Chains A and B, each alone.
Chain A
Amino acid sequence: MMRYLAGRLAGMIPLLFGITLICFFVIHLAPGDPAQFLASMNPKFSETAHEKFVKMYGLDKPIYEQYWIWLKRVAVLDFGDSFTPDGKSVTTKIVERLPVTIWLNVAGMALIFLIALPLGVLSAYKKNSIFDKSVTVFVFIGFAVPTFWLALLCMYYFGVIKGWLPISGLTSYNFDSMSFGGKVADILWHGFLPVFLSVFGGLAGLSRYARNSMLEVLGEEYIISARARGIPERKVVFRHALKNALLPVVTIIGLSVPGLIGGSVIFESIFGIAGMGQLFYQSVMSRDYPVVMGILVIGAVLTLIGNLISDISYALVDPRIRYGRK
């Protein structure tokens, strides 16, 4: 196990390197240079201002040197300062947004698993039944509806017409003066629509995956022979088949991390939630390069870690993997 772990960790180094290379490349795609952008939005900025920024951000050095300098700082988790005048460091800006992003994504992901797995497994079990067909259509509806459109319709109906749910934001104005229970209720109340919608949109992938995986297992010989031996169908399906079918699902957790982070831009914009997606979008639009790079790198590294964890847990559950992969 330790050897496997060490091997995986060593394998991550070139990946990390590649990630930073791509981030750096993306930023330098932008027309003009960041310093010019900073200076040009201000009509009174002189030529010296431009030079000042060029120096400040080390843009006068050759590109490989810039990359090297940046890399050295990133290695110690220093992403520099944001370009916005509030003078915050990139790390502070990202850390500020993390709790919200984590709460919404973890809640969303947990619910997706809780709902999609049983749906997928039952669909496979009752293949081609009415249940299976309606589940298929239902999860695809969630996937196919443009999210912001559905979100607006829901906000209008449940928020304005019915008045049941708040429209945007994560807390009420008087949040600070609430009791602890009140605070929890307030957060849940505000989080309901965004979480519900992201769950609805995310069911398709996992439930189809679970269904296919289950179908595959149900077709395996040992299941067929178990049935032949007269073991009750329920037991066959829910004990023997289920366990093996759900194993590969574990890997999905790691793979869905980037989707969760990246997909949140739309939700956060429309629900006025100050999460990572918003920060990224606004940084892109205002050409706040250090923040853009920081989020890309951190997002990718989080994914890497997610993948690692899911692979390790997979390896723990199924010892074959360790040797199978070599």
Chain B
Amino acid sequence: MAGSRLLKKAKGSYLLYSGLIIVVFFIVLAVFAPLIATHDPTAINFDEVFLPPSSVHFFGTDELGRDVFSRCVYGSRISLFVGFVAVGISLAIGVLLGLLAGYIGGITDLIIMRIVDIMLCFPSFFLILAVIAFLSPSVFNVMAIIGLTGWMGVTRLIRAEVLSVRTRDYITAARVQGVSGVKIMLKHILPNVMTPVFVTATLGIAGAILTESSLSFLGLGVQPPTPSWGNILTAGKDNIMFAWWLSMFPGLAIFITVMGYNLLGEGLRDVLDPKN
């Protein structure tokens, strides 16, 4: 009764639950942003600049009189989007190369793992910084480059799992029966290795959101007027003493979200790890 045991374990996991609540909350926020936002996030109103939080503007207003609450709500869309797509790219590359390396082995394995080793040698933030600066920052570039520099862990993970799975009896049996390599990988191996990948992905989303905010701080993240938590926070940092609400709320949003994905990831690991 593996299922019910997992469920029982999951019930006791405070990490999993608190993480899940946070993650779901922000996803709902992003999906229903137009319904939740109280104002047009780009509407400029010079008569209402730098208003502190109130019942009209929950999070106050910024230097152009825009509603910070609505901007944060819409910002959640961009930030989560960046996180999901970047991790999606990492996963796609990582899983593909990992499967290839693990299943085919030999020279393919050698080459792929050498590439992994090389990529791991670079300070990834430097690489991201250089490439984005040279190609000019846009939502697309930011996502793509975070994704393209984050797949190596997944590849290693998948390969290791594949290596341990492929010698099992049912895989050998399938192979003997003449099932094609692709089919074996997709049908038999992939499902078995998805658990650790899922954990990595969850943590990866957190990392991508943080990376976007760091890039924004350097002016290389998602560019205004598109609101992302990173650039709202960066725009507010110069007024940290005078208009604390400009940086406090996007800062908390990033903090809580990243926390949520981390807790979820750790919780998943605890629950899914058979050793515990």
Contacts from A to B (Cβ < 8 Å): 14-15, 18-19, 22, 26-27, 29-31, 133, 136, 140-141, 143-149, 152-153, 156, 160, 204, 208, 212, 215-216, 219, 255, 258-259, 261-263, 265-266, 269, 280-281, 284-285, 292, 295-296, 299-301, 303-304, 307
Q: Assess whether B275 is in contact with A258, with CB atoms less than 8 Å apart.
A: no
Q: Are B125 and A263 in contact (CB under 8 A)?
A: yes
Residues of A contacting B125 in the complex (Cβ-Cβ under 8 angstroms): 259, 262-263, 265
B255 interface residue per 8 A CB criterion: yes
- Chain B residues numbered 208-223 whose CB sits less than 8 Å from any CB in chain A: 210, 213-214, 217-218
A269 to B217, Cβ gap below 8 A?
yes
Given A141-B259, A266-B214, A284-B133, A14-B114 contact (CB < 8 Å): yes
Is there an interface contact between B135 and A258, defined as CB atoms closer than 8 Å? Answer: no
Q: Which of A19, A261, A266 contacts B126 (CB 8 A)?
A: A261
Q: Which of B37-45, B101-109, B116-124, B175-183 lies at the interface with chain A?
A: B116-124
Q: Which of B24-32, B48-56, B84-92, B233-241 contacts A (4 or more CB under 8 A)?
A: B233-241
Contacts of A152 in B (CB 8 A): 237, 240, 247
Interface membership of B146, Cβ < 8 A: no
Contact across chains for A153 and B129 when beta carbons are under 8 A apart? no
**Alpha-carbon distance A174/B121, docked complex (angstroms):** 40
Instruction: List residues of chain A with CB within 8 A of the CB of B241.
Output: 156, 160
Decide: B276 and A146 in contact? CB cutoff 8 A. no
A-B residue pairs in contact (CB < 8 Å), sample of 14: A14-B114, A29-B134, A133-B14, A143-B206, A144-B206, A144-B256, A146-B230, A149-B233, A156-B241, A215-B276, A262-B123, A296-B122, A300-B121, A300-B123
Task: Output the least CB separation between A224 and chain B (Å).
Answer: 13
Q: Is B64 an interface residue (CB 8 A)?
A: no
Q: Return the 5 tightest CB-CB contacts between A and B, nearest first.
A: A262-B123, A262-B125, A144-B258, A18-B118, A30-B134
Asked whether, in the complex, the Cβ of B240 is within 8 Å of the Cβ of A145, the reply is no
A214 CB to nearest B CB, Å: 12
Give Cα A107–Cα B134 distance, bound, in whole angstroms. 33
Whether A149 contacts B251 by the Cβ 8 Å rule is yes
**Alpha-carbon distance A153/B239, docked complex (angstroms):** 11
How far is A299 from B124 in the complex, measured between Cα atoms in Å?
A: 10
* Pair B130/A19 contact, Cβ less than 8 Å: no
Contacts of A281 in B (CB 8 A): 129, 218
Contact across chains for B126 and A146 when beta carbons are under 8 A apart: no
Q: Would B237 and A18 count as touching, CB distance under 8 A?
A: no
Flag if B135 contacts A136 (CB, 8 Å): no
Instruction: State how many angstroms separate the Cβ of A106 from the closest Cβ of chain B.
Output: 16
User: What B residues does A262 contact at CB under 8 A?
Assistant: 122-127
- Given the contacts A146-B254, A147-B214, A295 and B259 also touching, CB distance less than 8 Å: no
A26 and B130 within 8 A (CB): yes
Contact B259 A140 (CB under 8 A): yes
Q: Which of B124-154 contact A (CB under 8 A)?
A: 124-127, 129-131, 133-136
Given A258-B120, A258-B121, 8 more contacts at CB 8 Å? A15-B121, A140-B263, A144-B259, A146-B214, A147-B214, A258-B124, A265-B214, A303-B120
A208–B273 Cα distance when bound, in Å, is: 15
B interface list, Cβ under 8 A from A = 14-15, 114-115, 117-127, 129-131, 133-136, 206, 210, 213-214, 217-218, 230, 233, 237, 240-241, 247, 251, 254-256, 258-259, 262-263, 266, 269, 275-276
Known: A144-B255, A153-B240, A258-B123. A15 touches B217 (CB 8 A): no
From A27, A144, A148, A265, name the one whose CB has the most chain B CB atoms within 10 angstroms.
A144
Cβ–Cβ contact A26 & B127, under 8 A: yes
Of the candidates A14, A18, A144, A299, which one forms a contact with B262 in the assembled complex, judged by CB atoms under 8 Å apart?
Answer: A144
> Which of chain B's residues has its CB closest to A18's CB?
B118
Contact indicator B118/A284 (Cβ below 8 Å)? no
B-side contacts of A261, CB under 8 Å: 123, 126
Q: How far is the CA of A300 from the CA of B120 in the complex (A)?
A: 8
Q: Would A19 and B214 be within 8 Å (CB), given that A136-B15, A140-B263 are in contact?
A: no
| Bound complex: CA A160 to CA B242 (Å) | 13
In the complex with contacts A26-B131, A136-B266, A295-B258 CB distance below 8 A: no
Contact between chains at A22 and B118 (CB < 8 Å): yes
Pair B251/A146 contact, Cβ less than 8 Å: yes
Residues of B within 8 A of A27 (CB): 134
**Assembly CA distance A10 to B124 (angstroms):** 25
Interface centre among A255, A300, A307 (most CB of B within 10 A): A300
A15: which B residues are within 8 A, CB to CB?
A: 114, 117-118, 121
Q: How far is the CB of A223 from chain B (nearest CB, A)?
A: 13
Residues of A contacting B121 in the complex (Cβ-Cβ under 8 angstroms): 15, 19, 258, 299-301, 303-304, 307
Given A15-B121, A149-B247, A299 and B126 contact (CB-CB distance below 8 Å):
yes
Contact A143 B262 (CB under 8 A): yes
Known: A144-B255, A145-B255. A219 touches B240 (CB 8 A): no
CA distance A307 to B120 in the complex (A): 10
- Please tell me if the beta carbons of A266 and B129 are within 8 angstroms of each other in the complex: no
Contact of B135 among A14, A29, A295 (CB under 8 A): A29
Q: Which residues of A contact B133 (CB under 8 A)?
A: 284-285
Chain B residues within 8 Å of A269, by CB: 217-218
The CA of A139 and the CA of B134, in the complex, are separated in Å by: 35
